[in-house]
Amino acid sequence: MKRIAILTAGGDTPALNATIFGAVERANALRIEVIGIIRGFAGVVDPRLPHVRLNPLFTTIPELDPCHGGSLLGASRTYIDPDQTELIAEITPRLKQLGIEGLICVGGDGTINGMQPLSEHFPCVLAPKTIDNDLGLNYIDEVNEYNEAGQKTGGSRYSAHEQLDLEEIVNFATPGYATAVFVVAQGIERIRTTAESHRRIAIIEVMGRDSGYIPLGSAYGQPDIILIPEVRLDMDKLEHRIAELYDLQKHVVISIGEGISDLDGHQLGAATKSFDPAGNVIFSGAAEELKRLLCKRFGDEFFGTRRKHESADSAIFTRKVGHTQRGGRPIKFDRFYATQLGGKAVDLIVAGQNNSVATLQWSQKEGFFLDSLPANKLRDAWKRIHPRKVHLSLYDADRFQPSKLGKEYLRTILTNAIGQDDIEQIGSELFSAGKLSTRYQSVNIDIQRRIETLKDA
């Protein structure tokens, strides 16, 4: 194999460049050229096929920095629908014209759907990425538990209270997740002191869509209450716990996953139904909606008599951690394993694998190790890929905190996730005097000079 291509699809993560770097370094060792396609599937569907040579003469270009968040190739939420047969028929010869013999897609579940039709024409492999940590399965045959309507049936191999075997998790953690948790934990710690000083209730919304891994991991910021989308919100129970904590410590910090729903299954943050190009509901504000519900339940008097607040509205505040959890420098765990997974994706392509996914596995004996599985193993009987949900044995719904097993899961990923260089980087670079006299130098400008199109080829 002489030449492969790589693209980054879907939302960005801090670890994308690290994955690309791992793939390119592995390709250098194997004397394979790597073409980076600009802006994910948007680049692939563009007849000009904008691209960049990532390792001319088998040397990685200097713009590819594994410590820099986002993707030097750019990302987009453009997806290829398997039904777009005409479009797919146009893409294949274009890639072949460039001499591309295999394609690595760095992405999540939506990306697998886009990759699948292309894999019928040449080898495609997925290197996983998503801050949501929802690409994978709690155990290998979990997909068989979905019914035609896309819901989990009663016949689950693990009942809600039966402990999951952590060694069975398919794709234990995804690059991007650890950095997101790092940012969220710090955000919660910072908001805490304001809530504490002003005797307020802080509701902090974190990302993750329908999966609660980020709110679960937010436990490192020690929020008093963690609400994950996998457990429907029982407002009576929540109100009781908030009142208890507010009386005790004069403030409360709540971490809430954006996809949370009430007991009727209504998603709090999806009040206005809008859809992004991948077909996902765009969450507009679970925290705001929870605040509205709490203001109604507690009323102004509760806060006026207790802490001299004028109103419930002024006593409860919301903050979204937002896109800060998706960007910036990846911490060591993400850098290290993203690089490994990028390299693994190259090895899979070279070994003749097609439509398969590189995975990060964990066992007590071996720690983290690399593996792979056919992408179709992630599909249910109706060929759908479901976001992996936090298994209920990882969460203690009575205490609104991770369970014992949930803590074990988090410790496995995060205990040594920050490197000494991450700490040193803050000390040496954040307040470096030079920053005041230089402008930010965007990688987009540097890469623009390297972009070629099919016409130039």
- Interface residues toward ligand F6P, by CB under 6 A: 11, 130-132, 207-209, 258, 276, 283, 326
Work out how close the CB of 300 gets to ligand F6P at its nearest, in angstroms, rounded to a whole number.
Answer: 33
Tokens of 37: 């396609």
Work out how close the CB of 202 gets to ligand F6P at its nearest, in angstroms, rounded to a whole number.
Answer: 20
Q: How many CA atoms lie within 13 A of 380 on its CB side?
A: 18
- Number of other CB atoms surrounding residue 139 within 10 Å: 17
Considering the complex, state which of residue 77 and residue 198 has its C-beta at the smaller distance from ligand F6P: 77
Work out how close the CB of 1 gets to ligand F6P at its nearest, in angstroms, rounded to a whole number.
Answer: 32
Work out how close the CB of 129 gets to ligand F6P at its nearest, in angstroms, rounded to a whole number.
Answer: 10
Considering the complex, state which of residue 206 and residue 350 has its C-beta at the smaller distance from ligand F6P: 206
Give CA–CA dist 433/413, Å, rounded.
Answer: 35
Considering the complex, state which of residue 4 and residue 180 has its C-beta at the smaller distance from ligand F6P: 180
CB 223 within 8 A of CB 184: no
Work out how close the CB of 277 gets to ligand F6P at its nearest, in angstroms, rounded to a whole number.
Answer: 9
The whole-angstrom distance between residue 91's C-alpha and the CA centroid of its chain comes to: 28
Work out how close the CB of 207 gets to ligand F6P at its nearest, in angstroms, rounded to a whole number.
Answer: 3
For strands 252-257 and 225-227, give the pairing.
parallel
Residues 6+ apart with CB under 8 A from 108: 10, 128, 129, 130, 132, 134, 135, 174
Contacts within 8 Å (CB) and 24+ apart, 273-278:
276/77, 277/77, 277/78, 277/79, 278/10, 278/77, 278/79, 278/110
Considering the complex, state which of residue 176 and residue 343 has its C-beta at the smaller distance from ligand F6P: 176
Which residue number is nearest to ligand F6P in terms of Cβ? Answer: 207
Considering the complex, state which of residue 182 and residue 283 has its C-beta at the smaller distance from ligand F6P: 283
Give CA–CA dist 113/393, Å, rounded.
Answer: 29
Q: Which of 367, 318, 51 is nearest to 202 (CA)?
A: 318
Instruction: Say which residue the tokens 């209730």 belong to.
Output: 201
Task: Identify the H or E element spanning 203.
Answer: strand 201-206
Considering the complex, state which of residue 107 and residue 123 has its C-beta at the smaller distance from ligand F6P: 107
Work out how close the CB of 105 gets to ligand F6P at its nearest, in angstroms, rounded to a whole number.
Answer: 15
Considering the complex, state which of residue 132 and residue 224 has its C-beta at the smaller distance from ligand F6P: 132
Give CA–CA dist 118/101, Å, rounded.
Answer: 12
Give CA–CA dist 20/413, Å, rounded.
Answer: 22
